[in-house]
Amino acid sequence: MSQTPVADQLRNRLVDAILAERPVPATVERAMRTVPRDAFLPGLKLENAYTDQAVTIKDNPGKPLPLSCASVPSVVAMMLDQLDPRAGDDILEIRAGTGYNAALLAELVAHGSVTTVDIDPDVALHARTRLNATGYEHVTVIERDGLLGAPENAPYDRIIATVGVWDIPATW
């Protein structure tokens, strides 16, 4: 992973701000200080990659909400805290997005596995490209409707949906 002193400083400042508002487990803090969010948001100004805001990565023409975005980092920290991933876990993530969350999960599960699914081919390709570029080639990215799950890598110890779901599909 390519990291610069400025990116490191901005990333640490963001994590410090998140921790000032809400404590998170040391493992989540370590992952957020390790994974370079800016590497998953190419073309975005470095300062903007390290704000506690969502970033649109794919617009949804004619619709008020984007098709895909990078989640708000403080929300990511809260979700990871609630998920409580542990070393050795096998995780299924529904909605690959930028790939950033999958990279965080990969850090958290160490020798476990992460499978991330996205319905949109452009988004899945973006996630795969960014994960490869940052050293997370071992994360599995699958392009398909997340409601179908990813039975080929099951069973999973934990499942996280970073997209709105109305019910828990039986396929999960």
Beta strand pairing call for 113-118 and 90-94 = parallel
Q: Mark whether 74 is an active-site residue.
A: yes
State how far the Cα of 82 lies from the Cα of 131, in Å rounded to an integer: 23
State how far the Cα of 132 lies from the Cα of 135, in Å rounded to an integer: 5
Sequence length of the chain is 172
Helix axis angle, 73-83 relative to 26-34, nearest 10°?
140
DSSP tag of 60: -
Burial class (CB in 10 A: 0-12, 13-18, 19+), 146: buried
State how far the Cα of 69 lies from the Cα of 59, in Å rounded to an integer: 9
The answer to whether the peptide bond before residue 42 is cis (omega within 30 degrees of 0) is: no
Question: Are 102 and 80 a contacting pair, CB within 8 Å?
Answer: no
Catalytic residue among 2, 68, 71, 74: 74
Residues labelled catalytic: 74
